[in-house]
Structure 1
Amino acid sequence: MSILRRSLRGLSPIEARIDLQLLNDSWRHSPGSIGAQLAALLMLGWMVRDWPMAHWKWVLPAFGHLTVWATVGMLVRHFHRFGITESGYGRWRTRLLIWHTLEGTMWGLIAVALLPVATPEWRMTIVAALIVYGYTVMLVTIHDWAVAFVGSVPVLLLVAGRLANEHNGSSSFLALVLVVSLLTCMGVSLSVNRRLREAVLLRHENAGLVLQLREEINKVTEAKARAEAADRLKGEFFAAASHDLRQPLHVMMLLSSALKPWIHQDEGQSLLRKLQTALGSLGAMFEQMFFVARVDAQRVDYRAEALPLAEMWARLDSEFSVLCASQGLRWQLDATSEWVQTDGYVLERILRNLLNNAVRYTEHGEVRLRARKRGPWVICQVWDTGVGIQRQHRHRIFDDYFQARNDGRLSSEGLGLGLAVVRRLSLLGPTPVTVLSRLGRGSCFSVRVPRLIPASLAEVTPAAGGGQAQAAAQALAKPVAPATTAQAMARAGRGVVVLVEDDPQVRDSTSLVLQQHGWQVAGAATPDEALAAVAALQEKGRMPEGDMPAALVSDHRLGLSINGLDAIRQLRYEFGDDLPAFLLTGEASEGLTDEAAQARVQLLKKPIEAERLLQMLADSTAPAPAPDAADAA
């Protein structure tokens, strides 16, 4: 959608209908953000009431906000009564652009008024909040790139100009961060907007094809081919959108971690932790949305095989025993020796979603996992003593975005896709899911899978293999204690990490985090450039001649004729096959997982928390413990 477009003239009928529909959707849904912004404005006014500044500097923009919102409220009432016709398209789109421009400008003026009297910690917090605001505007208005542009540019440019005008190093750096964030925000918004528009056009074209097929039976073959092509394009769109949206989120998580050493007050650290929590929630939401898209696009295969439930039980026990303990709940796992014929990935994903749902809606009591034999079937059950489900909601809990107890649509309660994913996965194979519930007493979700009886009972008796299974379960149940930032900072000068990443922002952000924790980084976009970067470190005396890098981190999609695994193989040829290697990707398919395991490469999924990456680097490069004297004897 062009910024200057104020008329539907010159567009095809489908494009005109799409633009008019998108404009109606904008006026129908965008006013919902005013409530959250009003709450934020009131909270901000309460927090800065004692700051040493002339209050009119921020009160006037705040009053401007209220004026704009009041005007928008009147326009929304008129919209709900009469709607938007083709003849009124230009007026309503101009009003939409003016509204978001003024909104972004007012927030920018408030930030400019607060920056001169803000402490360094508050300045960092304001900059981080503005970056999140810019990306939020982009995500909410992603269907109209012009609105995303006028809503983000004023606030970020005003604050960046104010910081640059201070003529000192830290302010100039923050101004640069804002400008880079603005460019990234606009680039991602434009890219995803184009793909979204193409997808909408394809949807309307497919609707036209359905009508045409009813009238022209002799064109069934041609219409089927076009529909299959549209499905492939839709799958490619979701894959591209997944990568494009994960990249800036990955950068934001790394940069938020890099801010930690610069914020020393408890209040600033608390705000930074909240920011990181919000980013983690945003990443989880994206992951759930794109997984639903993968299932709908039939990119998740169902492959049944003989599976012992004991191994899956051990993995779930190690995860949910800790989660329940952190929530103050009792965790009960009934041991089982049953074997089933099912897809292990699908069944485990179903049970994990059901268990997460049980923990979320259980305030006290217990969560229980068990398996029961029922003739040729095994019934896997998840019990909880939570709030239960009202009778009128039981037929809707598996619908997309339905949340019986989240009328306020709080982001902390998720998107309402957990049980929708369960429904989709259950339809892939013979794994029907049923639910029993009593309001205020709890719920029981049951998953039925085909039972498999091993050829010999010795295969599942404790005497034959119970010791090894128990040892494996105990090994899986041991939690890994994350290293704190202070511990990581204390272990400085550990070695050189070779970083292969073609995105300069991701490469710079990752290098910054690693360097803050004592690593030397040889970063490059290609394997050949990485070799040159290592040689440059040796020439500068920062790496002794003859030494080898300590680890290798590579992105998978490098935009080259080779991928990340090929780059790792090429660099291992130079530095040794035992070099610890990590592969970062936003699309970990089953084939890639197997290929990485065969190459002895640890697969990490974007976005990744900086602390986890640092911990895995430390574990992989830690020296092996010396043998005991008793062992030597």
Structure 2
Amino acid sequence: MIRPTDLISYLARLAFFTLAYVGTAFISLQIQGTHDGITPIWPPSGIALFALHRYGLRMWPLVAISIGYLGWQVGLPPVTVIIAAIGNIGEAVLGCLLIRRFDIHFGQRFQDVVKFLFLPVLLAPVFSATVGTFGMIIGGAGSWEQLPLMWLMWWVGNAVGILLFTPLLMGWWQQPKKWSSDSRLLEWLVVIAATLLIGWFTFQGPEANELHDHGNLQVLVMPFLLWAAIRLGLRGVTLVSLIMCGWMLWGAANTNGPFHIDNKVAMGLYESSFILVVTLTGLIVQSLFRELSLNMHRLSNAHEELEDRVRQRTADLEQTNLRLQQEIEAKELTEQALHESERGLKQAKQNAEQANGSKTRFLAAASHDLRQPLQAIIAHTGLLSARNSNPELVESIGQMDKASSAMRQLLEKLLGVSEIDAGRLITNLSVFPIDDLLVDLQGQFQQTADEKGLRLTRVPCSALLYSDPALIRVILQNLISNAIKYTEHGRILIGCRRRGDVLRICVCDTGIGIAQEGQQAIFEEFIQLDNPARDRRLGSGFGLATVERVADLLSHPLHVQSVTGKGSCFAIDVPLSKTQQQVNTGEPDSNPATDSSPAASLLLIDDDEIVLHATNLMLEAQGYRVTAALDSAAAFAALATMAHPDVIISDYRLPGSFSGINLITELRTRADRLIPAIILTGDITLREDENLPETCMLVQKPVSPAELKRVISRLLEGSG
């Protein structure tokens, strides 16, 4: 509820500003009479903007009342008066909102002057000029031919009125009204008197017109304008500008001064420009010196505060120094012992870092050289298994195959952990369907599970994930492998469950389970809680360590739930794709490694003669027609003499200028056909989603005969 005192105050302000608006409007209309209807300045715009900014938007009726009264006095049509009132109210409201939105403070900062000029001064009058001129035309007070000139002079007059009168009222209404000292009062009197004399001499003097033919006398006010800006602040600047504006308009009304010419439009624009230049110059200089004085004041205060702090700190230090003198001897002994201890710790840390770095560098550098002979071993073992007809050797060959597979798995895990520790493992995030990966993993481990009499079950899922599919495969491979190793009967379940914006992928088993106190230790290297005798058939202890490192690298939370004697459930949360599109993956093929045509021809390239020979024999034993080449030249020669191969299998690192990828591209160009290809390499720095040509797959050495056959079959099926 509005209190009576508030209502009285509001009505009093409304009446005061309405009278000011109407009074200055009548003066401006008198100026129009001497300018053939041109108004170089419209003070009511500045008064209205000040009133709304100072006392709130509820002061808008003063504009409506004033415009209504002026329209009645002048005899304008009612529709013109209504539209003009809307335009002027909108101008004041828009200017007020711009001042508040852009935090404009009058007389404080240079940036405030710039914002005030371009927003309330130049932008707000666009609304009133546009609405008002159309109102004049609609009401019959103007014609369409006069529209551009009417709009321009309306906009200019309102803009100049806001530029001069809003800061004038802000300065004299808000700032302190008392004089700071007698000397400052004297400065005020000098500036006011000089401005009055210069204005009279420039615009009213008897010889003014004659003297203006020899120079611009109006510039004589500039020194006093700058004096007011530097010494007297916002009030001084706006007062000097107001005095010069009054003299200029008075002189123009009496046909005196530099701006009196026969072209009234040009004369009005000259007068508006003069007011704008004088006022804007004063406001800019005043704001700059205001900022300078504030900064100097802050600097002075900071300097004094710093001196006080220095004095206080000096006294504190003197007292502290006295106390320290008594403690120095005891502390010297303590510090000496501490330094010796720190040196020992630093040396131990350096030794440990060097040892760990050496291990990491060795494992990373040895990757390719370790994989090459291991590939030859696996290839020969597969060849022996295929060609053996002696029942007595079946078990020995089987043991050799298991040993080489175990060695390959251990090498993969060692090198994987080494890559992560060295910080060289780079994630490649992409959108991919999880079910495709689960189908592949089920096919990969199905035979192993069948051999132990376990049921390996996959629950289909149509979700799309956003992660690194290769690293997700590493995590799930290790979890499924562990589940099969530690489950003697029952089943392994692979399934997914949505949880908000992530998908929780679970690998659950009915194995031996993990005690609560051991659920954290299992993620450390070489830790196998149920394998104290280090039975190598149960792995090396690197699987879960790799899982934890890769999950941390991807920032995917890892979860473990286990009950001793009943089984375990490992899960990882992977972000869902933002698109949330669904894909129909269907049921996986029960036999993903469909046999390829035994008549398929292969071009095999490897610079290691032992590996080349072993792989050649292995592929021939599987029924392929193989042409082997040690380098690029031999490969080109083979391509020229043989029919086009069905698949190219090449090592990545080759002698000469060709890499495996470049060689495959060149062979395809010479054959003029997109031949399916495989990069068979031991280089762990090469990733499947980098630099590979179209219809080319990456296979890391060592690879088993069955796995290599499966990849060849997939390529042949795709090309068919």
Given the two structures, how large is their TM-score scaled by the length of structure 2?
A: 0.46
Corresponding residue of 2:705: 610
Corresponding residue of 1:96: none
Give matches, 1:416-495, under 5 Å.
Answer: 416-450=541-575, 454=578, 460=581, 465=582, 469-470=583-584, 472-474=585-587, 476-481=588-593, 491=598, 494=599
Give matches, 1:204-219, under 5 Å.
Answer: none
Instruction: Tell me if structure 2 keeps the 8 A contact 1:555–1:584.
Output: yes
1:138-189 Cα offsets, whole Å, 9 max, x none, are xxxxxxxxxxxxxxxxxxxxxxxxxxxxxxxxxxxxxxxxxxxxxxxxxxxx
Instruction: Tell me if structure 1 keeps the 8 A contact 2:688–2:697.
Output: no
Corresponding residue of 1:572: 668
Aligned pair in 2 of structure 1 residues 624, 403: CA closer, same or farther (>3 Å)? Answer: closer
Instruction: Tell me the secondary structure at the aligned position of residue 397 of structure 1.
Output: helix
Instruction: Tell me if structure 2 keeps the 8 A contact 1:382–1:444.
Output: yes
One-letter identity of the residue aligned with 2:615:
T
Aligned match for 1:398, one of 485, 508, 523: 523
Aligned match for 1:531, one of 619, 622, 636: 636
Question: Alpha-carbon deviation of 1:608?
Answer: 1.9
Instruction: Tell me if structure 2 keeps the 8 A contact 1:498–1:549.
Output: yes
Given the two structures, how large is their TM-score scaled by the length of structure 1?
A: 0.52
Identity %: 29
Corresponding residue of 2:615: 510
Corresponding residue of 1:386: 511
In structure 1, C-alpha distance between the alignment counterparts of 2:433 and 2:592, rounded to whole Å: 25
Aligned pair in 2 of structure 1 residues 384, 518: CA closer, same or farther (>3 Å)? Answer: closer
In structure 2, C-alpha distance between the alignment counterparts of 1:285 and 1:480, rounded to whole Å: 26
In structure 1, C-alpha distance between the alignment counterparts of 2:434 and 2:605, rounded to whole Å: 40
Give matches, 1:176-575, under 5 Å.
Answer: 237-260=362-385, 263-304=388-429, 309-319=434-444, 324-336=449-461, 341-375=466-500, 377-450=502-575, 454=578, 460=581, 465=582, 469-470=583-584, 472-474=585-587, 476-481=588-593, 491=598, 494=599, 497-516=602-621, 521-533=626-638, 538=641, 547-575=643-671
Question: Alpha-carbon deviation of 1:592?
Answer: 4.7
Instruction: Tell me if structure 2 keeps the 8 A contact 1:254–1:610.
Output: yes
In structure 2, C-alpha distance between the alignment counterparts of 1:378 and 1:260, rounded to whole Å: 42
Aligned match for 2:696, one of 601, 608, 611: 601
Aligned pair in 2 of structure 1 residues 576, 331: CA closer, same or farther (>3 Å)? Answer: same
Instruction: Tell me if structure 2 keeps the 8 A contact 1:495–1:550.
Output: yes
Instruction: State yes or no: 1:583 paired with 2:661.
Output: no
Q: How many residues align?
A: 381
Question: Alpha-carbon deviation of 1:448?
Answer: 3.4
In structure 1, C-alpha distance between the alignment counterparts of 2:569 and 2:691, rounded to whole Å: 38
Instruction: Tell me if structure 2 keeps the 8 A contact 1:584–1:606.
Output: yes
In structure 2, C-alpha distance between the alignment counterparts of 1:559 and 1:573, rounded to whole Å: 20
In structure 2, C-alpha distance between the alignment counterparts of 1:320 and 1:513, rounded to whole Å: 22
One-letter identity of the residue aligned with 2:631:
T
Decide which moves more: 278-287 or 250-259.
Answer: 250-259
1:21-76 Cα offsets, whole Å, 9 max, x none, are xxxxxxxxxxxxxxxxxxxxxxxxxxxxxxxxxxxxxxxxxxxxxxxxxxxxxxxx
In structure 2, C-alpha distance between the alignment counterparts of 1:424 and 1:623, rounded to whole Å: 35
Question: Alpha-carbon deviation of 1:620?
Answer: 5.0
Instruction: Tell me if structure 2 keeps the 8 A contact 1:397–1:419.
Output: yes
In structure 2, C-alpha distance between the alignment counterparts of 1:230 and 1:558, rounded to whole Å: 32
In structure 2, C-alpha distance between the alignment counterparts of 1:564 and 1:356, rounded to whole Å: 32
Instruction: Tell me if structure 2 keeps the 8 A contact 1:549–1:575.
Output: no
Instruction: Tell me the secondary structure at the aligned position of residue 595 of structure 1.
Output: coil
Question: Alpha-carbon deviation of 1:229?
Answer: 11
In structure 1, C-alpha distance between the alignment counterparts of 2:445 and 2:451, rounded to whole Å: 10
Instruction: Tell me if structure 1 keeps the 8 A contact 2:461–2:496.
Output: yes
RMSD over aligned CA atoms reads 4.0
Larger radius of gyration: 2
Question: Alpha-carbon deviation of 1:431?
Answer: 1.8
Aligned pair in 2 of structure 1 residues 298, 509: CA closer, same or farther (>3 Å)? Answer: same
Question: Alpha-carbon deviation of 1:366?
Answer: 2.6
Instruction: Tell me the secondary structure at the aligned position of residue 419 of structure 1.
Output: helix
Give matches, 1:59-70, under 5 Å.
Answer: none
In structure 2, C-alpha distance between the alignment counterparts of 1:351 and 1:623, rounded to whole Å: 26
Instruction: Tell me if structure 2 keeps the 8 A contact 1:295–1:424.
Output: yes
One-letter identity of the residue aligned with 1:609:
S
In structure 2, C-alpha distance between the alignment counterparts of 1:380 and 1:366, rounded to whole Å: 17
Instruction: Tell me if structure 2 keeps the 8 A contact 1:437–1:443.
Output: yes
In structure 2, C-alpha distance between the alignment counterparts of 1:607 and 1:477, rounded to whole Å: 26
Instruction: Tell me if structure 2 keeps the 8 A contact 1:390–1:438.
Output: yes
One-letter identity of the residue aligned with 2:674:
D
Instruction: Tell me the secondary structure at the aligned position of residue 256 of structure 1.
Output: helix
Aligned pair in 2 of structure 1 residues 354, 575: CA closer, same or farther (>3 Å)? Answer: same
One-letter identity of the residue aligned with 1:255:
H
1:571-619 Cα offsets, whole Å, 9 max, x none, are 22222323332221113546454422x3322322211223444565567
In structure 1, C-alpha distance between the alignment counterparts of 2:635 and 2:492, rounded to whole Å: 50
Question: Alpha-carbon deviation of 1:324?
Answer: 4.0
One-letter identity of the residue aligned with 1:610:
P
In structure 2, C-alpha distance between the alignment counterparts of 1:247 and 1:393, rounded to whole Å: 38
Question: Alpha-carbon deviation of 1:401?
Answer: 0.7
Aligned pair in 2 of structure 1 residues 213, 588: CA closer, same or farther (>3 Å)? Answer: farther
1:475-534 Cα offsets, whole Å, 9 max, x none, are x44423465xxx99xx5xx47533321112112223333455565544332211233356
Question: Alpha-carbon deviation of 1:563?
Answer: 0.9
Aligned pair in 2 of structure 1 residues 599, 340: CA closer, same or farther (>3 Å)? Answer: closer
In structure 1, C-alpha distance between the alignment counterparts of 2:434 and 2:391, rounded to whole Å: 46
In structure 1, C-alpha distance between the alignment counterparts of 2:440 and 2:407, rounded to whole Å: 25
Aligned pair in 2 of structure 1 residues 590, 233: CA closer, same or farther (>3 Å)? Answer: same
Corresponding residue of 2:44: none
One-letter identity of the residue aligned with 1:584:
L
Aligned pair in 2 of structure 1 residues 294, 332: CA closer, same or farther (>3 Å)? Answer: same
Instruction: Tell me the secondary structure at the aligned position of residue 524 of structure 2.
Output: coil
Aligned pair in 2 of structure 1 residues 314, 609: CA closer, same or farther (>3 Å)? Answer: closer
Instruction: Tell me if structure 2 keeps the 8 A contact 1:527–1:570.
Output: no
Question: Alpha-carbon deviation of 1:338?
Answer: 5.2
Instruction: Tell me if structure 2 keeps the 8 A contact 1:253–1:608.
Output: yes
Instruction: Tell me if structure 1 keeps the 8 A contact 2:367–2:684.
Output: no
1:69-123 Cα offsets, whole Å, 9 max, x none, are xxxxxxxxxxxxxxxxxxxxxxxxxxxxxxxxxxxxxxxxxxxxxxxxxxxxxxx
In structure 2, C-alpha distance between the alignment counterparts of 1:402 and 1:520, rounded to whole Å: 46
Question: Alpha-carbon deviation of 1:287?
Answer: 1.0
In structure 2, C-alpha distance between the alignment counterparts of 1:312 and 1:604, rounded to whole Å: 16
Give unpaired runs (5+ residues) of structure 1.
Answer: 1-210, 626-633
In structure 2, C-alpha distance between the alignment counterparts of 1:604 and 1:451, rounded to whole Å: 28
In structure 2, C-alpha distance between the alignment counterparts of 1:589 and 1:361, rounded to whole Å: 32
